[in-house]
């Protein structure tokens, strides 16, 4: 998959002992790790991953000292069609037997004008690339159980060929059945630990 310079994915923040920060654990029940891929140039196929873990370490006084990390179980891919999900497990696509996890770990958080960006290493199959995730942070808020919660919204586009995710079957006119560009869409809710 080809990185377009931004990745919407999933966040984990790593704090150091030299500053005060709060650690938030990703709430799987209120988080969506979604994606969409063009299908025969006339529509899209939507999917998501159902199993993942992540941590956000948030320094409220200086967000640039925050970090994010998320690990996704590749075999939890779900496009609502069993046969297609089985195909996605195969060696030419996600190759879940050899590469069971997809991973993002931030290396820095930057402020660019009015936009926050998480820059980090994204690993899919045997490829790791530095990508950028522009994001919006909401919260913290206190839920009905008295727990502090935050939410992060982010997204990006990557080219699947950059990550050795192949599927190059074409229609008779030469157009691809599956597009190269994958749109990633993440809404991450996390609870303070």
How sure is the predictor about 105, in pLDDT bands with cuts at 50, 70 and 90? Answer: very high
**Is 156 inside a domain boundary?**
yes
Q: What is the pLDDT of residues 116-159, one digit of tens each?
A: 999 999 999 999 999 999 999 999 999 999 999 999 999 999 99
**Is 138 inside a domain boundary?**
yes
Contact (CB, 8 A) for 35 and 8: no
Q: What percent of the chain has pLDDT over 70?
A: 89
- Token pair of 82, please? 């069993």
Work out the average pLDDT over 53-72.
Answer: 96
List the CATH number of the domain containing 81: 2.40.128.110
pLDDT of res. 147: 96
Tell me if the bond preceding 140 is cis, omega within 30° of 0.
yes
**Is 177 inside a domain boundary?**
yes
- Determine the structural domain holding residue 156 and report its residue range: 22-192
pLDDT of res. 173: 75
User: Minimal CA–CA distance to 26: which of 193, 192, 190?
Assistant: 190
**Is 61 inside a domain boundary?**
yes
Give how many domains the chain has, as a whole number. 1
How sure is the predictor about 3, in pLDDT bands with cuts at 50, 70 and 90? Answer: very low
pLDDT surpasses 70 at 16: no
pLDDT surpasses 80 at 92: yes
- Ranking 16-25, 37-46, 62-71 by mean pLDDT, the lowest is 16-25
Partners of 131 in beta bridges: 120
- Residue 90: count other Cβ atoms within 10 Å of its Cβ: 13
Half-sphere CA count of 108, side-chain side, radius 13 A: 4
**Is 11 inside a domain boundary?**
no
pLDDT surpasses 50 at 85: yes
Answer with the residue of higher pLDDT: 13 or 101.
101
**Is 2 inside a domain boundary?**
no
Phi/psi at 34 (5° precision):
-115, 165
**Is 7 inside a domain boundary?**
no
- Token pair of 2, please? 């080809």
**Is 155 inside a domain boundary?**
yes
């Amino acid at each position: 998959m080809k990185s377009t310079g931004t990745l919407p994915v999933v966040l984990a923040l790593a704090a150091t002992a030299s500053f005060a920060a709060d650690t938030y654990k990703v709430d799987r029940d209120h988080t969506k790790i979604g994606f969409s891929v063009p299908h025969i140039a006339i529509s899209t196929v939507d999917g998501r991953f159902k199993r993942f873990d992540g941590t956000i370490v948030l320094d409220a006084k200086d967000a640039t000292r925050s970090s994010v990390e998320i690990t996704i179980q590749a075999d939890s891919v779900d496009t609502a069609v069993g046969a297609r999900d089985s195909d996605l497990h195969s060696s030419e696509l996600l190759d879940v037997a050899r590469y069971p996890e997809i991973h993002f770990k931030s290396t820095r958080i930057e402020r660019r004008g009015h936009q926050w960006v998480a820059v980090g290493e994204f690993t899919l199959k045997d490829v790791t690339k530095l990508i950028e995730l522009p994001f919006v942070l909401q919260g913290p808020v206190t839920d009905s159980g008295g727990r502090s919660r935050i939410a992060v919204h982010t997204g990006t586009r990557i080219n699947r060929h950059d990550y050795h995710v192949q599927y190059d079957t074409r229609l008779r006119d030469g157009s691809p059945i599956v597009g190269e560009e994958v749109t990633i869409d993440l809404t991450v809710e996390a609870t303070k630990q």
